[in-house]
Structure formats: structure tokens, C-alpha cells
Amino acid sequence: MSAQVKQSGDDVTARGADLGHIVADLNNQRAASEHSGRRYGPRPLLPSREAVVGVIDGLVAALFPRHFGPPGLSDEGADGFVGYAVDVALRSLEEQARRELQLESEEADKGGADQAQQASEIRNGFAAALPKVRALLESDIHAAFEGDPAAKSLDEVVFCYPGVTAVIRHRLAHELYLLGAPLLARIVSEIAHSETGIDIHPGAEIGESFFIDHGTGVVIGETSIIGRHVRLYQAVTLGAKRFEVDEHGALIKNYARHPIVEDDVVIYAGATILGRITIGRGSAIGGNVWLTQSVPPGSNITQAKLRSEAFDDGGGI
């Protein structure tokens, strides 16, 4: 028995020694990594993904308290809940924005910028945008209800439609992107992506009454511009045709490279639209179409039809 105990103790000691080496090696790897290196001072705190999730969940509940607020919330209690939820979310948002700004300042070697003041401005600008966001979302919800014969009620659309879930979060993320918090915005968009399978970059500009039906596999790139009353189906891609590089072979960023989709366009399942091209107003793009050229208003673009010919009695040989 004593031999077994000794053997067990030796195993624990050996595992502890191995673990110490692993921790030390991982520490060395972090120190050597480019994104962890610093020129001065302690490392800044990174934004918290968990905190951002809390901010967005709180804001979604505030925007739609009857659907996502506390169970049994009365009409009389809704305003009190909304005020509380918005206040808590904005306080947390301001801290996460401050962390992003501090990180950006450190990476750019800016030094003494007033991140606290900038974070407060982001918070205030975001708060001021919430009524506008709510109005846009109302138009999106009605577009989903009116555009899908399977929708039985507006409540069903809000509760159940992944396209609406993704668009709610995109509208919030886009405001953060415009206000100068692109990292927080991207975290929000990737949360929506993981929940719905719909990938909308927060930089994409999207007009009112936007509806994504079914939604799985939809990709909308950063510089896409989408007009009013546009409808997309699953697996649609609004992407870049190619990635431009500079004289050193590095990718060029921050230039317009995704499509412009004008008002009243329908894009059916599986269509791929690439490059800075324009889909004219009122057009319909058929399923599985691959499109890299602009089309005029009122276009109806479909795949080439299968041609079938019968050859009897040796004809065609």
C-alpha cells in the first residue's frame, strides 16, 4: 500500500513539473507574439466578449421589452425596465469602448489621448441613436412579415426569424462602427454570426425594410451598400471580387470593394455577387447566379437554361 501511495505522489510531482514547463513555454510564446508586445508600461485591458454580450442582450430587451424583457412585464412597468436596462448597458458599453480606445492608442503608439472622454462620446452618440435604430427595426420586422407567407404574426417574426435576429444586432453594431468602436462592433456582428449563421460586417450600410429570409450562409461584406426594401434569401454572398495589394504585397484595406444593391431588389438563394458593382433598382437576381458586372434597373438575371435536344434515327451523328 505504501508503495502505491509513493508512486501516486511521484506521479503528481511529475505532472506538476510538466505543467510548470508548459505554463512557462506558453508565457514565452505570448511574450514573443506581435500582438502582445508593448513598448512601455503594463498591457491594457482588452474588451470583454462576455460584457459585450451582456450589453447587446440588455439593449435588445430594452428595444423589445414585451418580447425579451422579464416574464410578465406589464405595459405600466415597461418604461421603468427600459430605462434601467439602457442605463446598465450604456455604463458597460462605455467601459468596453474605453478599453478598445486604449488598446488602439497603444497599438498606434499615440500615448496620451483622452480615451475616457472619447468613450463617453461614443456612449452618448450611441444612446442618441437608439430611437432611430428602433424605427429602422420596425420597418425590417414589417418587411419580414409582409414578405413571407409563412409568417403568422409580427410576434413570430421577432421571436423566431434568424434574419431579424441578425439585423437587430447589425443595426446596433453599425452604430458602434460609425462612432469609432469597430472592435466592439465586430464582436457584436460575430455573436450574431454564431447565433444565426448570417455574417454581416458592421460596416455594411443597409436601408430600411430589409429582410433576410431563412438566412443561413448569407455573407455581406464591409463596404456593401444596400438600399430600401431589399430582400435576400439563404446563402447569398455580397463579396469582394479580388483583394488588392500594395507594392510590398500587403493587402490594401479601407477601400470600396463590395456591391451596391439599390432599392426594391430581390436576390434569391445561392447567388454570389462580387466586386464594386451596382444592382439596379427593382432587379431580381436568380438563385445560384454568379455576377461580377453591374446590371441596370429592372433587370431579371437568371442562370442559362438547360438546352435539351432529341436526336432520332441517328440524327446528329
Task: Express each pLDDT in 277-289 by its tens digit.
Answer: 999 999 999 999 9
C-alpha–C-alpha distance, residues 219 and 162, integer Å: 14
Matching CATH number, 46-198, of 1.10.10.920, 3.30.930.10, 3.30.365.10, 1.10.3130.10: 1.10.3130.10
Superfamily of domain 217-307: Hexapeptide repeat proteins (2.160.10.10)
What's the pLDDT score for residue 246?
A: 87
Highest mean pLDDT among 2-11, 72-81, 112-121, 171-180: 171-180
What's the pLDDT score for residue 105?
A: 83
Mean pLDDT of the chain: 90
What's the pLDDT score for residue 110?
A: 56
List of E strands, the chain: 199-200, 205-206, 211-212, 219-220, 225-226, 231-232, 237-239, 260-261, 266-267, 272-274, 278-279, 284-285, 290-291, 300-301
> What percentage of the chain reaches a pLDDT higher than 90?
74
- pTM of the prediction? 0.86
Domain ranges (residues) in the chain: 46-198, 217-307
Q: Which among 260, 158, 278, 164 has a CA at the least distance from the CA of 211?
A: 164
**In the structure, what pLDDT confidence band is assigned to residue 33 with cuts at 50, 70 and 90?**
confident
What's the pLDDT score for residue 317?
A: 46
